[in-house]
Amino acid sequence: MKILVVDDTDAVLLLISRFVEALGHTAIQARNGVEAVEAWRGQRPDLVLMDMMMPVMSGPEAAAMIKAEAGALWVPIVFVTGVGEENRLAEAIEQGADDYINKPVNFRVLEAKLKAFSRTLDLNRQVVEQSTKLADYYDRAEEEKRVARHLIDQMVNAERLSDPGLEYWLSPAESLSGDLIAAARTPGQVLHVLLADGIGHGLTAALNVLPLTQPFYSMTEKGYSISDILAEMNNKIRQVLPVGRFVAVTLLALDEANDCVEIWNGGMPALQIVDLQGCLLKSVPSSNLPLGIIPSHSMDFAPVRHYFDQAGLLVACSDGLIEANGPEGGAFGIERVLEAIGNNLCGNRIESVKESLSEFLQGHSHHDDVSLVLMSFGVDAKPAERAGTESPAIEPGFTMPSLRALDLCKWRYSLTLGADELRYINTVPFMMTFVNEVKSLTHSQSDVFLILTELFVNAVDHGLLGLDSKLKQTAAGMEEYLQERAVRLAGLTEGRIEIDLAGLDYGGSELLQIRVKDSGAGFDWSGWSRAEAGQTTFAHGRGILLLRALCVGVQFVGNGSEVLAFYRPSRNRQPHVNAAD
């Protein structure tokens, strides 16, 4: 040890210094309090042996200064005291001195005391070292969490959650959430909402749900159905997460144009559908394994459909909410969630659930991540109908003969699919990948998707599969229609569909021509123009109205198995087709 010896009597100073050195320590000498403080500043001794009564500055004064300057660093100070100094000594010890030894110094006792201090100093150093390390770890962990949080926020794209008709609440048990809520609209304005819950909570749970975001956003953007997105998410999780890790998922698709919500629930608590009076209409329990456990081909990604004829609310939450345990035992439960919503149907429903939960927990915190999504449906005007009232079928200046006479094409994208390919290729989203790249169509993604979908579905459903759209007039019929469609498509052995996109030059501006031809028998399209007059109010008529509203010209050719549509790309960013904006 490096020991600072302070005494105004040279003899004593020398004697103690020699003794300390004899024990193998290094002695630093000082003759009064001021010198002692300076020596401490300059040489940082491990321990101080100090006389009390000294000229210039006394021992206790110097001790107080050294202790103050040392701060968190522990410098033991031992006073060497004469008889009659007990009172001052007691004061000095109270002010921070560590020990004392009586004059005349008993060297045997001093040696023992120095050994004891040496041991305590070692221990003290270890503790300091460990706590510094701990503080370092803590800082590093906080920094990592900060970066992770930023990364996750970026990938989750909270901006898109601010969709009208969507309310949500996410409250992590730790600083990072293992629950994930994401929302995005397809080019056809179908609202996709993802609610996912990874195992556990905190960083690892957050990492588990991250792989879902990329397929969710990119495939929704291209207009893929939720079944396709689920299959891809399942593949992704199996690819990147270790065995034993899985993600419970609810995926919703709200299609206001067709009055339908598609729901897929794999491992999440049952979803509740309530009407605007708060009455429960339907409950959709989990009927699938969570994602990431078995291969996609062994999973059933077919969604449950709810067709609505009145406005309502869909309630989805993670088990962290309904299993939150109150201080008196028992879980919060879905009934309390629905009750809180029902009590405040027209107000801030999320806030009322939050209040109900915090009242239930009585100031305790929830142990798992809590998330809640409320999706309103049937409230807004239908996009298709609204679009239908917007613009005349053929704008002035565009006549069918003049459109058909255009033959200068700047680019062309043609695709022909046979029966085999039609069974498994998701054609429209696939073509959207190309459309996304065409600069002149940048602001028209949504329109092009709607037109392509309408024309393609018509060609497949009516041209090749011979389905009757009259079925689609009721919810039950719709379900039957879709089932029949799946059966006929699976059994399709012959037939082909040609799709042709071309960029035409129309007086200096670009015009998109979409041609779809099927190998079917065609149909009598002479009656088709009547639909134009607004006589068709059935679901299947909306498609035609939509086409006429979006395109500057639509015409069937020959026996009706070929259709040409002309579309003038928008130059401005399209707002979301929604009554709220």
Based on the shown chain and the rule CB under 8 A, indicate whether residue 290 belongs to the binding site for other proteins. yes
522 phi and psi angles, rounded to 5 deg: 80, -175
In 3D space, the residue among 201, 197, 203 whose CA is nearest the CA of residue 145 turns out to be 203
Based on the shown chain and the rule CB under 8 A, indicate whether residue 285 belongs to the binding site for other proteins. yes
Based on the shown chain and the rule CB under 8 A, indicate whether residue 200 belongs to the binding site for other proteins. yes
In 3D space, the residue among 305, 321, 316 whose CA is nearest the CA of residue 374 turns out to be 316
The residue written with tokens 């081909």 in the block is 297
Q: How far is the CB of 198 from other proteins (least distance, A)?
A: 8
- Per-residue x/- track, 203-242, other proteins (CB under 8 A): ----------------------------------------
Residue in 33, 187, 267, 503 binding other proteins, rule: CB under 8 A = 267
Residue 290 or 383: which CB sits closer to other proteins?
290
Q: How far is the CB of 323 from other proteins (least distance, A)?
A: 9
Residue 244 or 397: which CB sits closer to other proteins?
244
- Fill in the DSSP letter of residue 347: S
Residue in 288, 444, 445, 453 binding other proteins, rule: CB under 8 A = 288
Q: How far is the CB of 364 from other proteins (least distance, A)?
A: 17
Q: How many positions of this chain bind other proteins (CB under 8 A)?
A: 22
Instruction: Give every CB contact of residue 72 below 8 A, 6+ residues apart in sequence.
Output: 128
Q: Determine the Cα–Cα distance for residues 29 and 23; give it in Å rounded to an integer.
A: 16
**Which 73-132 residues touch other proteins, going by CB under 8 A?**
none
Which amino acid is located at 337 in the chain?
V
Select from 10-18, 262-270, 309-317, 528-536 the region that touches other proteins (CB under 8 A). Answer: 262-270
Based on the shown chain and the rule CB under 8 A, indicate whether residue 244 belongs to the binding site for other proteins. yes
Where does residue 157 rank: exposed (0-12), middle (13-18), buried (19+ CB within 10 A)?
middle
Residue in 266, 312, 429, 520 binding other proteins, rule: CB under 8 A = 266
Based on the shown chain and the rule CB under 8 A, indicate whether residue 319 belongs to the binding site for other proteins. yes
Residue 232 or 368: which CB sits closer to other proteins?
368
Q: Determine the Cα–Cα distance for residues 491 and 484; give it in Å rounded to an integer.
A: 11
Based on the shown chain and the rule CB under 8 A, indicate whether residue 197 belongs to the binding site for other proteins. yes
Which amino acid is located at 19 in the chain?
F
Based on the shown chain and the rule CB under 8 A, indicate whether residue 287 belongs to the binding site for other proteins. yes
Select from 34-42, 214-222, 279-287, 537-545 the region that touches other proteins (CB under 8 A). Answer: 279-287
Residue in 202, 269, 388, 520 binding other proteins, rule: CB under 8 A = 269
Q: Assess contact for 304 and 282: CB atoms under 8 A.
A: no
Residue 293 or 373: which CB sits closer to other proteins?
293
Based on the shown chain and the rule CB under 8 A, indicate whether residue 246 belongs to the binding site for other proteins. yes
Q: What angle do CA 10, 15, 20 make, to 5 degrees?
A: 125
In 3D space, the residue among 147, 155, 174 whose CA is nearest the CA of residue 139 turns out to be 147
| Residue 174, phi-psi category: left (phi > 0), alpha (psi -120 to 50), beta (remainder) | beta
Peptide bond into 327 cis (omega under 30): no
Residue 152 or 291: which CB sits closer to other proteins?
291
Based on the shown chain and the rule CB under 8 A, indicate whether residue 243 belongs to the binding site for other proteins. yes
Residue in 173, 268, 497, 501 binding other proteins, rule: CB under 8 A = 268
**What Cα–Cα distance (Å) separates residue 334 from each residue in 40, 177, 307, 318, 498?**
68, 21, 23, 10, 50
Q: Determine the Cα–Cα distance for residues 324 and 72; give it in Å rounded to an integer.
A: 43
Based on the shown chain and the rule CB under 8 A, indicate whether residue 199 belongs to the binding site for other proteins. yes
Based on the shown chain and the rule CB under 8 A, indicate whether residue 294 belongs to the binding site for other proteins. yes
The b-or-e profile of 538-574 (16+ CB within 10 A means b, else e) is: ebbbbbbbbbbbbbbbbbbeeebbbbbbbbbbeeeee
Residue 293 or 465: which CB sits closer to other proteins?
293
Q: Determine the Cα–Cα distance for residues 519 and 497; give it in Å rounded to an integer.
A: 6
Q: How far is the CB of 268 from other proteins (least distance, A)?
A: 7
**Which 354-393 residues touch other proteins, going by CB under 8 A?**
368
Residue 113 or 245: which CB sits closer to other proteins?
245
Q: Assess contact for 72 and 33: CB atoms under 8 A.
A: no
Q: How far is the CB of 197 from other proteins (least distance, A)?
A: 7
Give residues in contact with other proteins (CB under 8 A): 197, 199-200, 243-246, 248, 266-269, 285-290, 293-294, 319, 368
